[in-house]
Structure 1
Amino acid sequence: MAEWTKDTLWAGAVLAGVLVLTIVQGPPLEWTGTVAITLTCGLLVFRRKYPVWVTVGTIIGCGIYYPFVGSAGPLLAVYVIALYSVAAVGKIVVAVSFATVSMAAIVVGEIYSPIRHVDNIALFMLVGWLVAVIALGAVRSSRRALVSEAEKRAAGDERLRIARELHDVLAHNISLINVQASAALHRGNQETEALEAVKQASKQALKELRATLGVLRHVDEQAPTAPPGLSQLHDLVERTRATGLQVTVDGEPRPLPPEVDLAAYRIIQEALTNVTRHASARAVNVRIHYGDKDMRVQVDDDGRGGKVLAGNGIRGMTERARSLGGDLSVHSGTGGVRLEARLPMGASE
């Protein structure tokens, strides 16, 4: 509705300007001339929705007005505005075709007319005018395309960020539930049936979570709020220790840029999740080192090692590090797996 109102006001302003200049230039304007000018200018109301047809209409309006109704007035400016609208929506070839045909028609008309209406200088200026208008429209079209592409890219990045957040927040906690329930089952407790239900429910939740994340990468949602950081590392370690895994930490949390603090926490969280679920490890060491320009996170476990498959977790950690200008690597050997991440601390500057 706003665009419709804007175009209506714009068409009204152009109509008023054309009428005033036509009357000033004289001779007196007949009612037929007023009708032709009004109808031609009125077409500009539809220039956003139907730019090509509006241009055709303005050509017809000018073709009727100048030879048959009146020779005075800047009605040709309405055609130029319509031509700009065609170029502005990306139809450059169509705009150039319109300009070429209209100039050819003017030249042919001048050749066969007994009276010269447009001299050589005016023709040259008109050509330059049309070229400039099409160029401006092309620039406008290119700018719109760039803005649209940037918005799509930003939306895609946001979807990936949200997917990583959900994966890290939910997968970690559900994995711990799954591990604890599995361990309790093997202790031979009397609550076997209830624990089996818990284990199966958490296993199914993990499966559904992975499927949901795949859909979420194509759906816009609101970003999570109040992101955690290394100040909550102690709680994360305690929750992991509750599964029976021995976790040691070398290095203390320090004030960091928010995005670096979040990335470091999420990388450690996902690394501990992977160790808990896949490594069959008894102990894991988390080392945090701060340099002058970047910080490093290293996570070592004493698990079975072997080939490491790059699932959503490793891809998510790698994307986090790269988004800050850092990097992440995972090395597996016979004595376990080592994860190393480098995060520049000046990423927010």
Structure 2
Amino acid sequence: MEEQRTRRSRTWGGPPRWWRHGPPGWGRRDDEDRGARWPWRSTLLLTVFVLAGSTFASHAQADERAPLDVFARVLLLAGCGVLLWRQRYPAFAAFATAAAATVYLGAGYAYGPVFLTVAVGCFGAIVAGHRRAAWAAVGMLWVGHVLVAHWLYVWLPPAGGEPAAWSQEIVTATWVIAIVAVSELARVRREQWARDRAERALAARRRADEERLRIARELHDVLAHSISVINVQAGVGLALLDSDPEQARTALTTIKTASKEALGEVRQVLDTLRAPGEAPRAPAPGLDRLPELVEQAASAGLTVEVLGRVPALAPGTDLAAFRIVQEALTNVVRHSGSRSARVRIDRAEGALRLRIDDDGPATGADAGGSGNGLAGMRERAAALGGTIEAGPLAGGGFRVLAVLPLKSEEAR
């Protein structure tokens, strides 16, 4: 059936291909044009103003121009009515209004608000991106006016007319340039607003992504450390339940403490999510809680030696340093056969250096935390402009070295 319709169209001279598939905004509607509304209110107001103003102008120029008749009013209505399509077909509206105004002036009718329809049509075309079409339309109007006012006036009404002064063409050219300039300014401002909106939306999405990553890191650090301690103590409790009930009780007590602390920190993160505009109810953890980490690691069977003095840090740096040490000790508990680790804290050259070592040996292929934990540490350090180095030592064991830059007041 489609082939038959195409064949009949070619045989009987159907509309040419260029008419059916014209440029966007001229002979067909794009997807975005389908949602455009009919601007009938503004068009109706403009039509009333143009008709009333042209009638007044005709009376004022009765000695120089032809009086308004039915043909003049048809031209005015056509020039205004075509503006209903200025949002769907902006280039067509620009040319149609310019053509109607050119015929109106060529018929000898009075100067007046007829130029306003051209201004609105060309303004809509330029703002919609059809700049060349709008320039061509106003250029056509100006050239038509020059021809009518200086050469064709002999054959056109009103009878006995004289050529217009060239100074009038300067006024007309100035009016045309003003239309184009104002339209171009509006187009530039509109594009700038669109870019600003897009940049704000992109920045909002970026902040949301960063916040999701931060929350994911927090939850991972809290849960990974606490669950690792719980896992180790659960194994100890099961092994000693019958032979050493007292030691099994100690392991269960450690599990209870670790789970309670994990629940508290998870609740703090969730409270922040539920009320993003409020401050957290509890302060963020920092290196001042390092003794708690050492105690929790000892309850999991890991002896931790802390070397160096804990400096005063900004909240963001303090939290990142605490989480890095926490994750590194968690990896020792989970992935290393060593029962001892060393945490060294140094402050030199405007940076905080955290070094966490264990003596190994590794208990699996993922020793050292090569998964989300190490990635989270690197993200925390990178967010502050720092670095993370992690890898096995030559003599056995594993090392995590974090370098976090300090602000000027922290580095003192």
Instruction: Give the TM-score normalised by structure 1.
Output: 0.67
| Residues in 2 aligned to 1:149 and 1:265: alpha-carbon distance in whole angstroms | 31
- Of the structure 1 ranges 109-118 and 328-337, higher mean CA displacement relative to structure 2 is found in 109-118
Deviations 1:234-267 (A, max 9, x none): 2222112111110121233332111101110111
Q: 1:242 aligns with which of 287, 299, 314?
A: 299
Structure 1 unmatched ranges of 5 or more: 1-10, 44-49, 87-93, 203-219
- CA deviations 1:131-170 (Å, max 9, x no partner) are 3333333333333332222222222222111111111112
Which amino acid letter does the alignment assign opposite residue 296 of structure 1? Answer: R
Could you tell me which runs of 5 or more consecutive residues in structure 2 were left unpaired when the two chains were aligned.
Answer: 1-40, 60-67, 154-163, 256-272
**CA drift at 1:327:** 0.6
Number of the residue aligned with 2:398: 337
Determine the structure 2 residue equivalent to 1:158: 211
What does residue 320 of structure 1 align with? 380
Using a 3 Å threshold, how does the CA distance of structure 1 residues 111 and 232 change in structure 2: closer, same or farther? same
Question: How far, CA to CA, are the matches of 2:125 and 2:197 in structure 1?
Answer: 17
Query: Which residue does the alignment assign to 1:145?
Result: 198
Relative to structure 1, the CA distance from residue 342 to residue 101 in structure 2 (aligned partners, 3 Å threshold; closer, same or farther) is same
**Aligned with 2:225 (options 143, 156, 172):** 172
Q: How does 1:53-202 map to 2 (within 5 A)?
A: 53=88, 55=90, 59=94, 62=97, 66=101, 71-73=111-113, 74-79=116-121, 82-83=124-125, 86=128, 94-100=129-135, 102-103=137-138, 105-107=140-142, 109-110=144-145, 113=148, 114=152, 119-187=172-240, 189=242
Q: Distance between the aligned counterparts of 1:295 and 1:52, measured in 2?
A: 61
Partner SS, residue 138 of structure 1: helix
The answer to whether the 8 Å contact 1:295/1:344 transfers is yes
Q: Considering Cα pairs closer than 8 Å and 6+ residues apart, tell me whether 1 or 2 has the greater RCO.
A: 1
Provide the rounded CA distance (Å) in 1 between the counterparts of 2:337 and 2:194.
58
Q: Secondary structure at the match of 2:361?
A: coil
Asked whether the 8 Å contact 2:345–2:353 carries over to 1, the reply is yes
- Does structure 1 residue 263 correspond to structure 2 residue 320? yes
Alpha-carbon distance change, 302 to 318 in structure 1, aligned in 2, over 3 angstroms: same
Give the secondary-structure state (helix, strand or coil) at the position aligned to 2:224. helix
C-alpha distance in 2, partners of 1:341/1:141? 42
How far apart in 2 are the matches of 1:25 and 1:247? 96
Larger Rg: 2
- Structure 1 residue 302: Cα displacement: 1.6
Q: Which amino acid aligns with 1:166?
A: L
- Tell me the amino acid that sits aligned with residue 95 of structure 1: H
CA shift digits 1:98-130 (9 cap, x unpaired): 424533553564466556896444444444444
Number of paired residues? 298
Cα separation, partners in 2 of 1:34 and 1:128, compared to 1, 3 Å: closer
Deviation at 1:284, TM superposition (A): 0.9
Percent of paired sites with the same residue: 32
Paired residues of 2:98 and 2:118 also in contact (CA < 8 A): no
Q: One-letter code of the match for 2:218?
A: E
> Cα distance 1:36–1:288, how it changes in 2: closer, same or farther (>3 A)?
farther
Q: Which secondary structure state, in structure 1, belongs to the residue aligned with residue 402 of structure 2?
A: strand
Instruction: Specify the code of the residue in structure 2 equivalent to 1:27.
Output: A
Shift, 1:172, TM fit: 1.3
Q: Name the CA distance, whole Å, in 1 between partners of 2:184 and 2:397.
A: 68
Q: What is the letter of the counterpart of residue 206 of structure 2?
A: R
| Partner Cα separation in structure 2 for residue 70 and residue 345 of structure 1 | 77
Cα separation, 1, equivalents of 2:218 and 2:201: 26
Q: Report the equivalent of 1:205.
A: none
Q: Secondary structure at the match of 1:176?
A: helix
How far 1:330 sits from its partner (Å)?
Answer: 0.5
- Aligned 8 A contact 2:307 2:345 in 1: yes
1:65–1:71 contact (8 Å) kept in structure 2: no
Q: C-alpha separation between the residues in 1 aligned to 2:145 and 2:409? A: 65
CA contact (8 A) 1:294 1:343 kept: yes
Match of 1:304 in 2: 361
Q: In the TM superposition, what is the alpha-carbon distance from 1:38 to its structure 2 partner?
A: 9.4
3-state SS in 2 of match to 1:287: strand
TM-score of the two chains, using structure 2 as the length reference? 0.58
Question: Which amino acid letter does the alignment assign opposite residue 335 of structure 2?
Answer: H
More displaced, 318-327 or 77-86?
77-86
What secondary structure does 1:53 align onto? Answer: coil
